[in-house]
Amino acid sequence: MNYEILDHTADVCVRVYGKSFDELVKNAALAMMDLITDREKIKSFKQIKIRAEGRTREELLVHCLEEILYLHQTKKMVFRDFEVNMVGETIIRGKAFGEQIDLEKHELFSDIKAVTYHNLKIETLNDKLKTDIVFDI
């Protein structure tokens, strides 16, 4: 498993793992979308470009997740999968694959309001990266 949901008082916390930073970001995006809806019911009809910038890996991670959350909220879309690639040290480019929300097909679980920096720290654990991400719901 590439992530696990942790107990947290008022929000939702997810522990995410990845063999690389790109994989960590992708797994965090998948975890966030799993909190929103059942990804198995999403078809990859549309492809949306994503781009984020940040001075640190933590900032890059949060900005990328915020971009995906923004696309979900403004374009009324849900995403099944993601491609994520680091460009240099400060930019992430990628793609989100999904479709328009159809309430007859996509049950919405959590209304995520924000991605937070609360206790956010990317750590190396054996040969993987690990981080805990708190989502404001």
- Give the model's confidence band at 9: pLDDT under 50 very low, under 70 low, under 90 confident, else very high: low
pLDDT for position 47: 98
83 Cβ neighbours under 8 A, 6+ residues apart: 26, 94, 95, 97
pLDDT for position 3: 85
Domains identified in the chain and CATH numbers = 3-136 (3.55.10.10)
102 Cβ neighbours under 8 A, 6+ residues apart: none
Average pLDDT rounded to a whole number, residues 43-64: 97
Buried b or exposed e, range 82-107, using 16+ CB within 10 angstroms = bebebeeeeebebbbbbbebeeeebe
